Amino acid sequence: MTTTMVEPELIAIINKYNDVTERLKHSHELLGREVTRLREELDEKNKELARRERLAGLGEMAAGVAHEIRNPLGGIGLYASLLERDLENMPDQLDITRRIGDGVRNLESIVGDILAFAGGAEPNRQPARLADLMDRALTQCARQVEAQNAEVDVDLRLTQIELSCDAGQIERALVNLISNALDAAGKGGRIWIRSGETGLNDNRAAIVIEDNGPGIEQDKLHRVFDPFFTTKDNGTGLGLAIVHRIAEAHGGLVAAGHRKGGGAAFVMFLPRA
């Protein structure tokens, strides 16, 4: 009789023990996965922090070099313009002088890009309609669109988005992204500008710019925002680096990937007003 009463109690204890053991095992596995995730996240944060410190140092050095170049460059441009006036009746010499002027303007553009990358100025945030910024950016890229006979599709949903941003900085970022997409698409190419899903529980808008070009090679995808990295024959490698810096200064981010159907896709996350 006693044995009969003890057996159910013993079985219950064993079952309880097994249940607790199973729970502990499950909790241990969950804890192990969470520790692994946090370590990976910390490693990524440390890498990003180290990258930012390197970029800050590089930016300071580049700004110093750019300022040193800008002063004599201004003098060369001035003398070239004076020579143009004096050589109006000497076409051969005038052509050479104009080429010097073109070279100076090209160098001034590069210096401007370096200073824009190195600037790191705090954005002067104001409410701004994305549609207005996009219109101005597309106007700046109109000549490139016409020269390439390219197609640009703009999502009308963008007109509903209002940002909290430095309008000048975001306009520059959009120009760089659109120009980059047009370069990738090439003659007769096509680009798409649309609103995307952020996938984040915050007050940010996603602006997606895609092209039907050759796309970005997988081993180069993580380097596209590095300063001075370029796959173009005539690029400075600062356009996308400037976009990255502007996005971060606004508390946003920019990412590169592949477009479904071929080509590249860039998405910029920016705070809504």
CA 138, CA 189: separation in Å to the nearest integer? 16
Q: Give the whole-angstrom CA distance, residue 210 versus residue 212.
A: 7
What are the Cα distances from residue 62, in Å, to 53, 68, 160, 241, 243? 14, 10, 39, 13, 17
Residue-wise pLDDT for 57-110, tens only, equals 666 676 667 767 777 888 888 888 888 888 888 888 888 888 888 888 877 777
Q: What is the mean pLDDT of the chain?
A: 82
* Chain centroid offset of residue 188 CA: 25
Q: What is the pLDDT of residues 9-59, one digit of tens each?
A: 777 777 777 777 888 787 777 777 877 787 877 777 777 677 666 666 666
φ and ψ at 77, to 5 degrees?
A: -60, -40
CATH, range 126-271: 3.30.565.10
Instruction: Find the radius of gyration of the CA atoms of the chain.
Output: 28
Give 99: exposed, middle or buried? Use CB within 10 Å, 0-12, 13-18, 19+.
Answer: exposed
All structural domains of the chain with their residue ranges? 1-119, 126-271
Longest dimension (CA), the chain: 127
pLDDT per residue over 130-151, tens digit each?
Answer: 999 999 999 999 999 999 999 9
Structural tokens at position 203: 């007050």
Give the predicted TM-score (pTM) of the model: 0.66
